[in-house]
Amino acid sequence: MLSRVADSLYWIGRYLERAEHTIRVFDVNLNLMLEGPASKPDARWQRVIYALSVPDNLQDRTLDDLVDAMCFDISNPASIAACIGAARENARQVRDEISTEQWQKLNRLYHSVAEMRGSQSYATVSDLLQTMLDGVHLFEGVTDTTMSHGEGWQFIRAGRYMERSTAIATLLELYYRSPFGDVEGILDSAQYLEWVGLLRSCTAFEAFCTVYTADLTPGRILEFLLLNPLFPHSLRYSVNCLVEALAGMQCEGRRSSSEMLTRRAGRLQASLSFAQIDEILAQDTGGYLRDVLGQCRIIQELTYRLYISYSVDTALAI
């Protein structure tokens, strides 16, 4: 597969996963403002700003302006609208590699978001976010059911789960860096809502309650979102899917680089598969999560070096 095609497919997966994550985080935190006590939401929105890597020039804006800039402003590359637009542009460049249904759903989502810009209000933004989320989910479902599960599909999956792994690890690191990360304390009402917000940001509240019933503690939440092998938005599940996607993209012509990527990804997978939550909590939890983020960055760099940004001499040597 041509490197430019692989690059476009990879970033379709990453951009749409990033848009989905941003939608959920904003929607959950906007709803927490209505459900929570009348305390200052500064700490919560500061965490949102870091979790979504909001550009510096937007961080001092009012909440309404921040929501508008991060949801609908196409001049901001971190916004939901910009991510969906970038995914559509990448899809347009590899139109012959994806199915007609994929293109139709993504194109329709792009134009729906364009119609939303300028018509949104604070009262209706949650409904608009849900509409965008439905569109992203529809594209993902169509991708899995209409696209051949070959190399191109694996690149989309690799992008999706690389983005998801990084986003979840970042979110967990921010929560366990904050005062709410005191796993020994008893949760008060404000803390309870914050931890419920974390679960909802990962679409995990109902799934968590199925496993742990009402035992809502930071340690249990960390165990579920970090180590659960079956929940799609847990870090362990995401890394497992990333490793599967990378295995489906194996490049026989560059064995040494491929082996290095396989070892790195396998090391991260093993560290999550055999980890024990008590051991993680006994050490520096934030440091453990930052190490996971560092490993994700290395895997991203090796993937790019192997499949996308390799030199001409390397390509001719295959």
User: Which is higher by pLDDT, 312 or 203?
Assistant: 203
232 touches 240 (CB < 8 A): no
pLDDT per residue over 123-167, tens digit each? 578 888 899 999 999 999 999 999 999 999 999 999 999 999 999
CA separation for the pair 28, 198 (Å, rounded): 8
pLDDT per residue over 157-207, tens digit each? 999 999 999 999 999 998 887 544 554 556 667 778 888 889 999 999 999
pLDDT per residue over 216-255, tens digit each? 888 899 999 999 999 999 999 999 999 999 998 875 455 5
pLDDT per residue over 275-295, tens digit each? 999 998 888 888 899 999 999
Average pLDDT over residues 94-112: 95
Q: Report the pLDDT value the prediction gives residue 48, as an integer from 0 to 100.
A: 81
Average pLDDT, the chain: 85
210 touches 199 (CB < 8 A): no
Write the DSSP string, 102-149: HHHHHHHHHHHHHHHTTT--TTTHHHHHHHHHHHHHHHHHHHHHHS-T
pTM above 0.85, yes or no: yes
197 touches 28 (CB < 8 A): yes
Q: Report the pLDDT value the prediction gives residue 52, as an integer from 0 to 100.
A: 83
